[in-house]
Amino acid sequence: MTSRSEQTRNRIYQAALDEFARYGVAGARVDRIAREAQANKQAIYLYFGDKETLFATVLKRSLGDLAAAVPPPTADGEVDVTDYLDRLFTYHQNHPEVTRLLLWEALEFTDQTVPDEESRRAHYQQKAADLNSVRSAESEQISAIDAPTLLLIFTGLVGWPMAVPQVRRMIVGDDEGALERVKASVIAAAVAIAGQK
């Protein structure tokens, strides 16, 4: 692939990311993506296929970027739960489009298999296993939470304040330190739930 075509693909990707985060699959328009990317529609179809395939590609790359930027906790202590949640929260804070894409996916693929579901399932299972290797079970209540559910709880703790910023604003305020207070509380709650000190 030439450098020029790679630049075109990257412009299309960025324009599609913005479009899908704003409008979802159904509301997104290939014409707008082409215009924003300064590319023609034929290039979009050539490089990415139809609109649904483009959405799947955008979501997969966004989640891949997230996974690369925020590796899960490790048993060797390189990454602990506190560090993981801190970086996960910060990543979502700086990349709100990831949460939006996942919300659109939830709305538009409710009763069907989502794009790339099997590999994403395997990725989440590995993250749950990694998380399980670093948590301690000092009480019966903590040990009763299986690792996949613990991962889901962590994802919810981080994702929900980003998914509903208006609710977050109404509950904790919108002063300069509000989001930092939420972040600190999310980390403290996650550490307590994981049974870490």
What tens digit of pLDDT does each residue of 48-71 get?
A: 999 999 999 999 999 999 999 998
Which residues of the chain are in CATH 1.10.357.10 domains?
A: 70-197
Q: How many angstroms separate the CA atoms of 189 and 182, rounded?
A: 10
CATH number, span 70-197: 1.10.357.10
Residue type, 12: I
Tell which wins on pLDDT, 30 or 151: 30
Q: Which residues have CB under 8 Å from 91's CB, separation 6+?
A: 66, 69, 70, 98
Residue range 1-58 forms a domain whose CATH class is: mainly alpha
pTM of the full structure:
0.86
